Amino acid sequence: MLEFLGRIEKSTDTSAVSLYLPPGLAGQEIEDIAGDGGLEPIPDDLIPLATGSRTGATLFWGEEWKCLVLPPFPIGEKTIFTGYDGEPLRLLLEKDYKIGLVLVHLGSYAVGYCRGEKLVSSKVGTGLIHGRHKKGGSSQQRFQRRRENQANEFLDRVCSRAMEHLKLPEGELDYVIYGGPRQTVLSLKKRCQFLQSLEDKELPVIDVPTLRQPVLEKTVNRIWVSKIVEWVEG
C-alpha cells in the first residue's frame, strides 16, 4: 500500500482530489463531500463500498487515477485535499498499533497480542467438543447437554487466555480483531465479560481456518492489508 501511495503522489494531475471518509457516513453525505471537492458524480457502485466499510474509505479521484481505498484501520475525520495526497493514509499505516487477536473455532483457538506487525505474545490451544448426536430420545438430550457443557468450558478457557494476553493498562489496546465463524465469536463474547469491555475497540470479524500457530502468524500480516478498488471508464 505504501508503494502504491508513492506512485500516485508522483502524479502532476492538477484535477485530482483526495477525500478521506470516516466510517459511519451515509451515501448522501459522501456525495455532498464529493460535491464540495468539485468532483463529478461518483459511480453508484463505489458508494456502497464506502458506506459499508467499518474503517471508512479514501477516494483518490482525477484524470490519471480513480480509486477507492478501504484501509485496515479507521479513518479519523473527513477531509478534502487537492491532488493525490496519501499522507493521512500513510500515517495511519505506519503507526505501531497495539492489537489483540482472538481467533476461535469450536475446538481450537489462537489468542495473540501484536505491536504493529510484530506478534509479542500468543497462545494456541484446542478443546474436546463432541460432534452432534444423530439419534433421538433421551440419549440425544443427554449428549446435547454434555456437548453444550464442553463448548461452554472451552469458551471460558479462551476467555481466560484472552485476559492473560490482552489485559493491558486501560487505554493501551487500540483494537481487537476476531476471526472465525461469526456465531462462535458471538457465543464467546456473550460468556466473556472481559471481551465485552473491549467492544468499542472491535474491527470487523475475519474468516480463518481451524487454528494453528502458522494461521495466527499469517493473520498478523492480513490485518494490515488495504483493499484498492480502481474505477476505469468504459
Tens digit of pLDDT for each residue in 146-198? 778 888 899 999 999 999 999 887 668 999 999 999 999 999 999 999 999 99
Of 198, 232, 231, the closest CA to residue 57 belongs to 231
| pLDDT value of residue 33 | 85
Cα dihedral 123/169/94/102 (nearest 10): 30
Residues 104 and 86 in one domain: no
Where do the H-state alpha helices sit in 41-136? 46-51, 87-94
pTM of the prediction? 0.83
List helix spans (H) across 52-200: 87-94, 137-166, 182-191, 193-196
Q: Are residues 176 and 210 in the same domain?
A: yes
Q: Let me know whether 65 and 128 are in one domain.
A: no
Range of the domain at 102: 98-222
One-letter identity of residue 209? P
Q: Are 86 and 103 within one domain?
A: no
User: Is pLDDT of 60 > 80?
Assistant: yes
H or E element at residue 130? none
Average pLDDT for the chain: 88
Percent of the chain with pLDDT over 70: 91
CB atoms within 10 A of CB 120: 12
121 and 214 co-located in one domain: yes
3-state secondary structure of 99: strand
When mean pLDDT is compared over 102-116, 132-146, 162-176, the highest value belongs to 102-116
DSSP 26: -
Total number of domains in the chain: 2
Instruction: Provide the b/e sequence for 134-149 (b: ≥16 CB within 10 Å).
Output: eeeeeeeeebeeebee
Report the C-alpha gap between 232 and 53 in whole angstroms. Answer: 21
109 with 49, same domain: the answer is no
What DSSP character marks residue 201? G
Same domain for 13 and 70, yes or no, is yes
Confidence of residue 143 (pLDDT cuts 50, 70, 90): low
Same domain, residue pair 145 and 57 = no
pLDDT at 101 (0 to 100): 95
Question: Could you give the residue ranges of the DSSP H alpha helices within 72-136?
Answer: 87-94
